[in-house]
Amino acid sequence: MPKIDAAKVWSLNYQLLMTVITAVAPAIADLGLETKELFLLAEVDEHPHPAELAAKLCMPKPTVTVNVKRLEDAGFLRRDIDRADLRRHRLSLTPSGRQAMTKGLALVSHAFGERLGRLSAAEQAQLKGLLEKLAG
C-alpha cells in the first residue's frame, strides 16, 4: 500500500510553514510589515496588478485593496493608473519597499533555511523540484 495520506501530508506541510512564519513574524514586524504584506510585496514585480495579486496569493480582492493601501501609506508601494486600461492600477515598489522586501525575505530564508539545513543539498534540490511539479 504505497499510497500516502494526502491530508496528512497537507497538514504536516501546513504546520511546517506556519511554525516558520510564526517564528519570524516579530522580526518582520520590526521592518514595519505584516507577514501578508511582505508576501504581497514579494509578488509585485511579477504581478503588478491587484487582481493578479489576489489570485496569486489566494486572497479576496478587498483584502488586497486594504493591504495595498497600507503599503502605499507606509511608502513601500506606488500605485499608478494604467494608462492603457483606466480601471487597472499598476503597482510598483518604492526603493524603501524594495529594501524592506529584501530584508523580510532574507529573514524568511534564514528561518526556513535552518529547517532546510536538515536536508542535504541534493535533498533540497529534490524537494524544490517536487514542489514545483505540484505547484505548477
Interacting residue ranges for a second copy, rule: CB under 8 A: 2-7, 9-22, 39, 42, 56-58, 105-106, 108-110, 112-113, 115-116, 118-119, 121, 123-128, 130-135
Nearest to 47 by CA among 91, 78, 97: 91
34 in contact with DNA (CB under 7 A) = yes
67 in contact with DNA (CB under 7 A) = yes
* Residue 130: CB atoms within 10 Å: 10
107 in contact with DNA (CB under 7 A) = no
* Residue 74: CB atoms within 10 Å: 15
Shortest distance, position 69 Cβ to DNA, whole Å:
7
86 in contact with DNA (CB under 7 A) = yes
Shortest distance, position 96 Cβ to a second copy, whole Å:
19
Shortest distance, position 63 Cβ to DNA, whole Å:
4
Burial label, 88 (beta-carbon count in 10 A; 0-12, 13-18, 19+):
middle
* Residue nearer to a second copy on the CB measure, 46 or 73: 46
DSSP secondary structure string, 68-98?
Answer: HHHHHHTTSEEEEE-TT-TT-EEEEE-HHHH
DSSP assignment letter at 45 = T
Shortest distance, position 116 Cβ to DNA, whole Å:
25
